[in-house]
Structure 1
Amino acid sequence: MKPLRGKVALVAGATRGAGRGIAVELGAAGATVYVTGRTTRQQRSEYNRPETIEETAELVTAAGGQGIAVQVDHLQPEQVQALIARIEKEQGRLDVLVNDVWGAENLADWNVPVWDHSLERGFRMLRLGIDTHLITSHFALPLLIRNKNGLVVEMTDGTAEYNYKNYRISMFYDLVKNSVIRMAQSLAHELAPYQCTAVAMTPGWMRSEIMLDHFGVKEENWRDAAEKEPHFIISESPRYVGRAVAALAGDPEAARWNGKSLSSGQLAKVYGFTDLDGSQPDCWRYLVEVQEAGKPADASGYR
């Protein structure tokens, strides 16, 4: 079953993490997926990490889709404009836009008040996490709205409900992740007349390449990290949120979610997909009811 065969997707920020997981799952559903980022086999971004957009594209193709890697700095309007012109020329359409550009893990100073936080690093975070999404939407949406049932997914960290009640890491980080949620709400209003849908999407505690390296584990033995951080037992692979996005993209009634803030665990219950290990982690409920409640780590009933 390839429900997205014939569909064209752009995953902006697909070098690693959620972007890569989403791109692969869209490919598994049959889509042609343009994957963008700054790191190629010839050039690395400021992250200085080994993952590349070519690797992501190859994973998309291996999964059953067609992966196309394009090096793009989404802070550069002319590069984004050229990307969309290429998609229009090569495909003539765009059905799914995933705004996943972030690139600021190394910029956040945890629990540091705004008066002590580096302004340079903070403003860079705002540029990477907000401006990139606005620039990409500006150029991509005129192509997406040509056809009905287009889908825009704004990737963030945290649900609207959770973020409203909780301080997220720093003033700058908090602003970025909540701005993206609001962006999805605004896009929902602007896209509705064209019968297209916009949502905000968050994974749970995601086992990105960076997170796995932090704990000194691989995906194959990720549970070993629970010895250092017991609550890591609720974590999920990047493919889990990828399956959430693929389920949305293949849902003819996706408009029912227009403007909503969604999570991978929430949509797993609706669409019935699982993570790679067959489980359905419900991270955001676990964080509130177990971790933040001071209870011992136990994912029973939460995955």
Structure 2
Amino acid sequence: MTPVQQQVVFVTGASRGVGRGIAHAFGEAGATVYVGGRTTVDGTAPSRLPGTITETARLVTEAGGTGVPLPLDVRDDAQIETAIARIGAEQGRLDVLVNSAWGGYERFTDGSPVNPGPFWEQPLDLWDAMHRVGLRAHYVASSFAAPMMVARGTGLIITLSSFAGQVFVPPVAYGVAHAAIDRLAADMAVDLRDHGVVSVALYPGLVLTESVLANIQYFEHEQNRETPRFVGRAAAALAADPDVMRLTGLPLVAAEVAAAYGVEDEEGHRPVSNRSAITGPPTPGFPDPFPRP
């Protein structure tokens, strides 16, 4: 891999939330970051939350990188294709793609009534939001980015996922989408391995995004929290590892990545992995992706 300060990075869903934190962290590392997202004017997001791609790009530049706002609606395949073609034309390369766009969370902040009931009581468009803005957009972006990476024989695709792909986390559409995202990352890795391109899924913990902060009363019992930039620092650490191919195809937990590379959250805090609380102890004999000496 090219040193991170020389890398060209494209982050989707970076107007706010985890995507913004990832872009910001790559800026800290000195990368050129294309900040993809729909929101160009503050206050116009469907979620009614603050944040724009211009603000995120400014954070990237202020942190030491080069931030480039890139207006993008990932529901439109042509816009994704055009965005990646622009990166290729301007930079001649794409080192890292971070698939972070996500849909369906708008209902927690846009004033819609939220029904915590079973799947048959959920609106059908919730499935479409999570599978089109999330899963399908990740597939499309990866499909357009892969040829540029394959041609150079190097690259890294990080796709945001969660333990919902392994255990039941309501609503049903959420868990199904994340199980498919995990499989997407793993299966893309098979096709990409011989071309020197890495594909991993990355699991954040409880991240203090704008949406979570707007509903923090529901998370007061959870003390193991992460900032969006912490997830970004874990992603940037993966991009800096010249031996990252050993991890290709795996679902990685951001806190475990951070521990392996010595990454800290803001103010020196280091969140811990919540794997054991969610999935139980590791399976005997299962290889540790981050073996310690």
TM-score bin (small chain): 0.7 to 0.9
Match of 1:270 in 2: 260
Cα deviation for residue 176 of structure 1 reads 1.0
Cα deviation for residue 81 of structure 1 reads 1.3
Aligned equivalent of 1:247, options 232, 237, 242: 237
Match of 2:27 in 1: 27
Superposed, 1:140-151 pairs within 5 Å as 140-151=145-156
Match of 1:121 in 2: 126
Cα deviation for residue 286 of structure 1 reads 6.5
Superposed, 1:60-79 pairs within 5 Å as 60-79=60-79
Question: C-alpha deviations, 1:145-189, integer Å up to 9, x for none?
Answer: 22233100010122xxx742x211111011111111111001101
Give distance in 2, aligned partners of 1:156 and 1:149. 23
Instruction: Pick closer, same or farther for the CA change 1:78–1:163 going to 2, 3 Å.
Output: closer
Cα deviation for residue 130 of structure 1 reads 1.2
Instruction: Pick closer, same or farther for the CA change 1:156–1:110 going to 2, 3 Å.
Output: farther
Match of 1:297 in 2: none
Superposed, 1:1-303 pairs within 5 Å as 3-41=3-41, 44-107=44-107, 111-158=116-163, 163-164=165-166, 166-215=167-216, 229-285=219-275, 287-288=277-278
Instruction: Pick closer, same or farther for the CA change 1:202–1:62 going to 2, 3 Å.
Output: same
Cα deviation for residue 42 of structure 1 reads 6.7
Instruction: Pick closer, same or farther for the CA change 1:286–1:186 going to 2, 3 Å.
Output: closer
Counterpart of 1:145 in 2: which secondary structure? Answer: helix
Question: C-alpha deviations, 1:218-275, integer Å up to 9, x for none?
Answer: xxxxxxx6xx744331111111111110000010000011001101111122101111
Give distance in 1, aligned partners of 2:185 and 2:71. 25
* Native 8 Å contact 1:107 1:122 kept in 2: no
Give distance in 1, aligned partners of 2:51 and 2:268. 26
Partner amino acid for 1:6?
Q
Match of 1:300 in 2: none
Cα deviation for residue 84 of structure 1 reads 1.2
Partner amino acid for 1:199?
V
Cα deviation for residue 133 of structure 1 reads 0.9
Gaps of 5+ in 2: 109-113, 281-293
Please report the RMSD computed on the Cα atoms of aligned residues, expressed in angstroms: 2.2
Give distance in 2, aligned partners of 1:42 and 1:269. 35
* Native 8 Å contact 2:126 2:173 kept in 1: no
Cα deviation for residue 135 of structure 1 reads 1.5
Partner amino acid for 1:20?
R
Instruction: Pick closer, same or farther for the CA change 1:229–1:6 going to 2, 3 Å.
Output: closer
* Native 8 Å contact 2:27 2:64 kept in 1: yes
Give distance in 2, aligned partners of 1:48 and 1:30. 31
Give distance in 1, aligned partners of 2:50 and 2:106. 16
* Native 8 Å contact 1:98 1:155 kept in 2: yes
Give distance in 2, aligned partners of 1:64 and 1:185. 33
Question: C-alpha deviations, 1:35-58, integer Å up to 9, x for none?
Answer: 100001278232232200000000
Question: C-alpha deviations, 1:177-232, integer Å up to 9, x for none?
Answer: 111111100110111111110000011010001111222xxxxxxxxx6xx74433
Partner amino acid for 1:281?
P
Counterpart of 1:277 in 2: which secondary structure? Answer: helix
Bigger shift: residues 230-239 or 83-92:
230-239
Instruction: Pick closer, same or farther for the CA change 1:260–1:13 going to 2, 3 Å.
Output: same
Question: Percent identity among equivalent residues?
Answer: 38
Give distance in 1, aligned partners of 2:34 and 2:65. 11
Question: C-alpha deviations, 1:98-143, integer Å up to 9, x for none?
Answer: 0011032135866532222221232232211111111111212111
Partner amino acid for 1:194?
H
* Native 8 Å contact 2:37 2:53 kept in 1: yes
* TM-score with structure 2 setting the length: 0.87
Partner amino acid for 1:34?
Y
